Structure 1
Amino acid sequence: MSAAGFLEKYLGGAIVELVPLDRLVKTVTPPSKAQKNDYREQGRNPIVDQGANFIAGYADESFEPVASDEYVIFGDHSEHIKYVDFAFVQGADGLKILKPEGGHPRYIYHALLNFYQKTGNYKRHWSKAKETLIPIPCPNDPEKSLAIQREIVRILDSFTELTAELTAELTARKKQYNHYRDQLLTFDEDQVEWKTLGDVSLKSYSGATPKAGSVKYYEGGTIPWLRTQEVVFSDIHGTEVKITQAALDETAAKWVPANCVIIAISGATAGRSGINKIPLTTNQHCCCLEIDPAQADYRYVFHWVSRNYENLKDMGQGARGDLNSGLIKGFKIPIPHPNDPKKSLAEQARIVAILDTFDTLTTSISEGLPREIELREKQYAYYRDLLLSFPKPDAEAA
């Protein structure tokens, strides 16, 4: 069924007026603002800023909150859009607090999500956002208009509520995973031998960055080339960037065999880990360990270094907190039943089987809860577009 047909059947084929956002909302000035150093883990009022997190922290009683009401929040720099219906303290500059007055607040929120076109650039975007056209059905019949808006909100909220439930479930499973990982990777000293990551590795690999913008090194490339921002505590099945054979021949980039434990070594990403499920190349900020299968299960090593992310990160040196291959290969790992290799590998495999189950549930984009959340978000976006695709005024006139 077409979008217009859907609306005609379920919403009576409502006519629509396209109204700029700033005619439907009033901009609210907050009574106080919290700076980053004012953010607390607990406090009287939640802090809402333009970041991706819905609640960024909490403020103490010295900050006067924005009064409890229904608001649409727009990040002037980040372009994040939120709906808030409670008292809060504004955090960080660049936040636009919008009080809907020309329509149902959550309808305006859903419509802004649907029609605002993000740029992805860090600049002030309110001047463009306020011109976003919001479709208002039956503009000459306020009662009918609000009834249609409420029905659209009811349908769309059913999708967002399901996504929220799945997200809460994911958070709970991540906590459960961390609990079992801590238990399974905690040993009595007489049960293990502490070795280094270098001890249990056959070989380590690094990489290089072919000259940026070089047609010779990138155009038409088919060789996967991994950057540290893609190392995110999960299996790696592909890369965003590909390089050419010339890049492989003429730079320090080299093939890394599948199933290596890859640890990022540069500043902001230092300590993050992953496993490459395909042969690939990397930039110079990755340390790739090919694990000796006679000594350790590579997935056991991965779970250990993932659990110890903060410890690895704290080893960083210099202003950027960089790691290096020497520091990583010197990092200690407990090997159970060191005097019985067969029993040791069997115990590692048992631990891996349990942790992989949780890992799939909490991180897999093909099987786990993240995939289910992604599908529900796509379903919400599809129906949001469908429900807000009213017949255009000029089409009605024709």
Structure 2
Amino acid sequence: MTWTEVPFLQALRDVSGGNPKVPKSEFRDSGVLPVIDQGQGILAGYVDDPDLAQRNDLPVIIFGDHTRCFKYIDFPFAVGADGVKILAVEDGFDSRYVFWFLVSLDIPSAGYSRHYKYLKDFSVAKPPLAEQKRIAAVLDQADALRAKRREAIALLDDLAQSIFLEMFGDPSVDSRGFEVRELETLIAEGDRINYGVVQPGRHVEGGIPLIRSGDLGRLGVDRSSLMRIAPDIESSYSRSRIAGNEILIGCVGAIGEVAIVSADDVGSNVARAVARVPVAGDVDREYLAAYLRMDFAQHYFTRELRTVAQPTLNIKQIKSAPVVFPPSHLRTKFAERVRSVTQQRAVHVTHLAALDELFTSLQHRAFSGALWDHGALDEAA
């Protein structure tokens, strides 16, 4: 099926002008009017002055001129001051259809430069309005399924912390009086917490796997796209080579992300942005990793960040991280309960990946004019 395509500026118009803009310094945690900026999240904060509301008819589509993020907004809001473009659809277009079309675009990255100039170069497919609404409805349904999976994953993430609080109380008020030890005291004898390879060079096919901070996750190390480095470079960093008794902590980029290494990771090395934490044999790694993911541990990491070129968590701060250390049988019990939660989380993550794949396929088929089986969504759910 071939559809008419129209230039971007015949499908959308920039209605950003004439709206008050709220600087970040004036954002509040609560208020009468939400603030929309160009960040990843829907809301950036609130303001209390209703006169700061943007003045266009709703809905509108927000485009982050620096971030390339799109947001569909159908409620009153104030505009963040930096890099926000407000777009309104022209007659003959369904706003939800146009939103999903824009989300599907591959906009080239120009760093923190502005990207609206690239957006204006695209053409917008224009099927009949009834078909636009059908496409939008199907994509809305698929995205709703993804949102439910993400919500379930978030609830499971919160559950681990709830289990800890139930068993051990809140460390911030020392409600149970358990021993608190610095992380450095939980390290395997004769070893130490350390960074990895500083200058890994270029990717080398068949080289030694290098674990970077972006490879860390709750399910362990994601080995699907590991960088590989030359053996002669890696050999100079034998001290950070994975032995199998470690947890890994992100120090730059994915700061505070924690992963437990598996047998598959043995022999790999880690990047400078990752701290290798070799755990003593009598310390349950699952307990320690789960503890370090808790809000109170993450808040410690955030407070201790140092900024030179970019925010960095230093080894000194990691060594000094306080760890609530209950008796062994309680740590084991906690780890078992968290293991069950992690297994459930893994199932939801797998389902979410399948839904993401389905959604991408539907986008491609929708905006290329292809037809699809309406039962596909029910089968994926």
- TM-score where L is the length of structure 1: 0.79
Q: Which amino acid aligns with 1:39?
A: F
Is 1:36 the counterpart of 2:24? The answer is yes
Whether 2:354 is the aligned partner of 1:375: answer: yes
1:107 and 1:152 in contact (8 A); partners too: yes
- Equivalent residue number for residue 81 of structure 1: 70
Q: Determine the C-alpha separation between the residues in 2 that align with 1:285 and 1:155.
A: 41
Residues 186, 279 of structure 2: 8 Å contact kept: yes
Q: Deviations over 1:306-333 (max 9, x none)?
A: 2212123324467677554444334343
> SS of the residue aligned with 1:336?
coil
Counterpart of 1:300 in structure 2 is: 287
Distance of aligned partners of 1:131 and 1:332 in 2 relative to their CA distance in 1, 3 Å threshold: closer
Whole-angstrom distance in 1 between the partners of 2:29 and 2:312 = 28
What is the distance in 2 between the residues matched to 1:264 and 1:148? 46
Question: Structure 1: which 5+ residue stretches go unaligned?
Answer: 5-14, 138-144, 338-343, 392-398
- What SS is found at the alignment partner of 1:74? strand
Q: Identity percentage over the alignment?
A: 19
Letter of the 2:284 partner, please give it: D
State the distance in 1 between where 2:347 and 2:74 align.
31
Q: Which amino acid aligns with 2:26?
A: D
Farther-moved stretch of structure 1 (78-87 vs 271-280): 271-280
Change (3 A) 1:40 1:205: same
Following superposition, the deviation at residue 18 of structure 1 comes to 0.7
Give the TM-score taking structure 2 as reference length: 0.82
Matches within 5 A, 1:180-259: 180-186=163-169, 192-202=178-188, 203-209=191-197, 211=199, 214=201, 218-232=203-217, 234-238=219-223, 240-250=226-236, 254-259=240-245
Residue 61 of structure 1: aligned partner:
49
Between 317-326 and 373-382, report the one with greater CA deviation.
Answer: 317-326
1:99 counterpart SS class? strand
Q: Equivalent residues in 2 for 1:273-352 (5 A)?
A: 273-277=258-262, 278-279=265-266, 280-293=268-281, 295-307=282-294, 308-316=297-305, 322-337=312-327, 344=328, 346-352=329-335
RMSD: 2.8
Provide the rounded CA distance (Å) in 1 between the counterparts of 2:81 and 2:342: 35
Max radius of gyration: which structure? 1
Matching of residue 149 in structure 1 with residue 128 in structure 2: no
How many angstroms does 1:46 deviate by? 1.5
Q: Structure 2 regions of 5+ residues with no counterpart?
A: 371-381
Contact 1:42 1:58 in 2 (8 A): yes
For 2:320 and 2:178, locate their aligned partners in 1 and report how far apart those are by CA, in whole Å.
17
Residue 123 of structure 2 aligns with an amino acid whose one-letter code is: L
Note the alpha carbon deviations across 1:320-370, whole angstroms, 9 max, x for none: 775544443343433333xxxxxx2x33221011122333444xxxx3333
SS at match of 1:249: helix
The number of residue pairs the alignment matches comes to 354
Q: Which residue of 2 aligns with 1:159?
A: 142
Q: What does residue range 359-398 of structure 1 map to in structure 2 within 5 Å? A: 359-362=342-345, 367-390=346-369
Asked if the contact 1:237/1:276 (under 8 Å) is kept, the reply is: no
